[in-house]
């Protein structure tokens, strides 16, 4: 999705706004539409040609209100526009598609497994992955950082979940297919077929993983991976059922794979477009954690999350009927002039920066500690290795109404003194990183 200054919002015809069609996010400019909605219709109803409808919620405070209050806005019927109007089969079973108390019972133990404390020791592993990713820069060649970034989360979530490396490429592609089924580059058959292949293959894959582990002796607690943990953990006083484990594995993998890469690509592009901001990071690495937060606000990789109204209610001056779908546009909330000073300025030292890229309320991203850790390490490594980046080819955006993504960002870079030797040593020790190729 294009990220920059919005066009003329006063010229937008509200009756013609279409935030559903994925091609908008590949070739259009949602930021201009979101700005127009925030100004003139902050809670706006869109009717689709097939009769389905949803409310778009675009202001920061309304987005927070919807995400915060599960008693009025439920997640249990599904949270993604791609399944608008169909009850999510994982509703009430998968953490992301459930409400308290089921949600709380699932979330508490899983949160411990993904906490800062639990992840602390993984830093060296993630650093090595970053250096392996940068190997194409050694010969002064073009590096498609977006394609490499697509494989990045798999390289540590795969280990965390105990998934064999030979499966990573396919799993990466399947997760992209699940959120961008109409993007021709990732299609297998038409759009519907792509979505169905992605869902079936991912569920079958995790089902097999769980079955294979059932026949093995249980590992010691300090040896177990995330799937072992899900098989052992209790929620509401009982062990999880097979399908509950499978759905939550799916959700964890999807959560990591379809978001983190796009924060990377968009942030690198922002730093290329704002070289003064990159120079600030080079001069003062202590700015990196704040820069990551600004990168998250700027990119808002998860474009939206949806809820359904539990009862008749009012929001932003509009009457919402029980059962209506409401879509919170996180990218819009993160540019709301009432919540952020000069929101279209990319500022690595922005403070305060209470962005909603990880959501808000009970479903606040459970992977945020892992995402922050890996993005922080990635930008520490990139700034220590690279003096300057230049775009070296056409930038291509993902066709998805869920993931605000860049799928290709070819660049060349000037390495800092000593970087080539550091990258070479890592590649010699570990081999090149798995990159996304047709699988
Ligand atoms: C830059 C990276 C990421 C972004 C922008 C992001 C964004 C989000 C957002 C906005 C939500 C809230 C969903 C809602 O309100 O319905 C969420 C939830 C979630 N995320 Fe992330 N995420 C990221 C990384 C990750 C990672 C690395 C993982 C896995 C380890 C993950 C797994 C999940 C899960 C399982 C949920 C559901 C939590 C719940 O329902 O309580 N995410 N994420």
- The per-residue pLDDT for range 321-370, each reduced to its tens digit, is 999 999 999 999 999 999 999 999 999 999 999 999 999 999 999 999 99
Of all protein residues, the one whose alpha carbon is nearest to atom 35 of ligand 1 is 252
Ligand 1 neighbour 410 (Cβ under 6 A): no
Asked whether 316 and 57 are in contact (CB, 8 A), the reply is yes
CA–CA dist 401, 252 (Å, integer): 20
**Structure tokens given for 49:** 């040609």
Q: Which atom of ligand 1 is found nearest the CA of 307?
A: 16
pLDDT tens for each residue of 273-294: 999 999 999 999 999 999 999 9
Evaluate if residue 433 carries a pLDDT over 80.
no
Cα–Cα nearest to 372, from 252, 282, 263, 273: 263
pLDDT band at 407; cut points 50, 70, 90: very high
The pLDDT score that the predictor gives to residue 437 is: 43
The pLDDT score that the predictor gives to residue 435 is: 52
3-state helix, strand, coil in the chain (%, to 5): 50, 10, 35
Strand partners, 415: 386
Ligand 1 neighbour 58 (Cβ under 6 A): no
- Three-state DSSP class for residue 46: strand
Quote the ligand 1 centre to 301 CA distance (angstroms). Answer: 10
Asked whether 176 and 150 are in contact (CB, 8 A), the reply is yes
For residues 140-152, average pLDDT:
92
Ligand 1 neighbour 6 (Cβ under 6 A): no
Ligand 1 neighbour 357 (Cβ under 6 A): yes
Asked whether 178 and 199 are in contact (CB, 8 A), the reply is yes
pLDDT band at 438; cut points 50, 70, 90: very low
Evaluate if residue 214 carries a pLDDT over 60.
yes
Q: Please give the C-alpha separations between residue 179 and each of 22, 247, 398, in angstroms, as whole numbers.
A: 10, 16, 10
Q: Please give the C-alpha separations between residue 5 and each of 152, 174, 203, 299, 403, in angstroms, as whole numbers.
A: 29, 33, 40, 13, 20
Evaluate if residue 439 carries a pLDDT over 60.
no
User: Best mutation site among 255, 306, 331, 361 for ligand 1, i.e. most ligand atoms within 8 A of its Cβ?
Assistant: 255
Evaluate if residue 21 carries a pLDDT over 80.
yes
CA–CA dist 383, 285 (Å, integer): 8
Of all protein residues, the one whose alpha carbon is nearest to atom 37 of ligand 1 is 96
Residues 6+ positions from 80 with CB-CB distance below 8 Å:
304, 305, 306, 402
Asked whether 409 and 190 are in contact (CB, 8 A), the reply is no
Taken in order 158, 163, 165, 170, the sign of the CA dihedral is negative
Evaluate if residue 424 carries a pLDDT over 90.
no
Asked whether 82 and 402 are in contact (CB, 8 A), the reply is yes
CA–CA dist 409, 294 (Å, integer): 20
Could you tell me how many residues make up the chain?
A: 439
All domains of the chain in start order, with CATH: 9-430 (1.10.630.10)
Mean pLDDT (the chain, rounded): 93
Residues 6+ positions from 223 with CB-CB distance below 8 Å:
none
Ligand 1 neighbour 303 (Cβ under 6 A): no
pLDDT band at 136; cut points 50, 70, 90: confident
Ligand 1 neighbour 66 (Cβ under 6 A): no
Ligand 1 neighbour 258 (Cβ under 6 A): no
Residues 6+ positions from 77 with CB-CB distance below 8 Å:
87, 88, 91, 97, 308
Q: Which atom of ligand 1 is found nearest the CA of 328?
A: 15
Q: 């073009």: which residue's tokens?
A: 142
pLDDT tens for each residue of 303-312: 999 999 999 9
More confident residue, 151 or 438: 151
Asked whether 263 and 146 are in contact (CB, 8 A), the reply is no
Please give the radius of gyration of the chain, using alpha carbons only, rounded to the nearest integer.
Answer: 21
CA–CA dist 365, 358 (Å, integer): 5
For residues 42-50, average pLDDT:
98
The pLDDT score that the predictor gives to residue 254 is: 96
Evaluate if residue 436 carries a pLDDT over 60.
no
The pLDDT score that the predictor gives to residue 4 is: 82
Quote the ligand 1 centre to 216 CA distance (angstroms). Answer: 30
Give the percent of the chain with pLDDT over 70.
Answer: 98
User: Best mutation site among 304, 365, 402 for ligand 1, i.e. most ligand atoms within 8 A of its Cβ?
Assistant: 365
Strand partners, 327: 56, 306
What single string gives the DSSP state of each residue in 267-310? HHHHHHH-HHHHHHHHH-GGGHHHHHHHHHHHH-SB-EEEEEES
DSSP code for 82: G
N-term to C-term CA, the chain: 25
CA–CA dist 356, 362 (Å, integer): 13
The pLDDT score that the predictor gives to residue 322 is: 98
Cα–Cα nearest to 361, from 119, 79, 38: 79
């Amino acid at each position: 999705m294009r990220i920059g200054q919005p066009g003329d919002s006063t010229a937008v015809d509200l009756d013609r706004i279409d935030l559903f069609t994925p091609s908008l996010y590949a070739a259009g400019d949602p930021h201009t539409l979101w700005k127009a909605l925030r100004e003139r219709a902050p809670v706006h109803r869109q009717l689709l040609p097939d009769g389905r409808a949803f409310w778009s919620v675009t202001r920061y405070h309304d987005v927070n209100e919807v995400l915060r209050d599960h008693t009025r806005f439920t997640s249990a019927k599904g949270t993604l526009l791609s399944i608008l109007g169909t009850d999510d089969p994982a509703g009430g079973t998968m953490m992301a598609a459930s409400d308290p108390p089921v949600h709380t019972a699932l979330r508490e133990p899983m949160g411990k497994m993904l906490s800062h404390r639990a992840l602390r020791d993984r830093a060296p592993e993630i650093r090595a992955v970053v250096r392996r990713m940068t190997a194409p820069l050694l010969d002064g060649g073009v590096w498609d950082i977006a394609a490499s970034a697509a494989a990045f989360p798999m390289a540590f979530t795969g280990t965390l979940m105990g998934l064999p490396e030979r499966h990573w490429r396919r799993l990466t592609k399947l997760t992209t297919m699940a959120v961008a089924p109409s993007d021709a580059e990732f299609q297998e058959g038409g759009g519907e077929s792509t979505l169905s292949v992605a869902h079936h293959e991912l569920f079958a894959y995790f089902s097999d993983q769980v079955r294979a582990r059932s026949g093995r002796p249980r590992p010691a607690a300090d040896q177990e991976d995330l799937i072992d943990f899900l098989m052992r953990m209790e929620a509401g006083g009982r062990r999880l059922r097979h399908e509950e484990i499978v759905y939550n594995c799916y959700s964890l993998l999807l959560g990591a794979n379809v978001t983190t890469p796009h924060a990377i690509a968009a942030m690198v592009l922002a730093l290329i477009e704002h070289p003064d901001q990159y120079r600030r990071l080079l001069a003062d690495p202590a700015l990196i954690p704040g820069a990551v937060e600004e990168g998250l606000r700027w990119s808002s990789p998860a474009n939206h999350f949806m809820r359904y109204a539990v009862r008749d209610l009012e929001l932003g001056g509009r009457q919402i009927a029980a059962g209506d779908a409401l879509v919170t546009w996180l990218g819009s909330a993160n540019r709301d002039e009432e919540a952020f000073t000069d929101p279209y300025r990319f500022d690595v030292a922005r403070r305060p920066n209470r962005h909603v890229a990880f959501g808000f309320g009970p479903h606040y991203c459970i992977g945020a500690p892992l995402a922050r850790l890996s993005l922080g390490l990635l930008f520490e490594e990139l700034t220590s290795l690279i003096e300057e980046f230049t775009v070296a080819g056409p930038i291509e955006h993902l066709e998805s109404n869920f993931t605000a993504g860049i799928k290709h960002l070819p660049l060349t870079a000037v390495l800092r003194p000593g970087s080539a030797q550091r990258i070479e040593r890592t590649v010699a020790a570990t081999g090149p990183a798995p990159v996304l190729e047709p699988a």
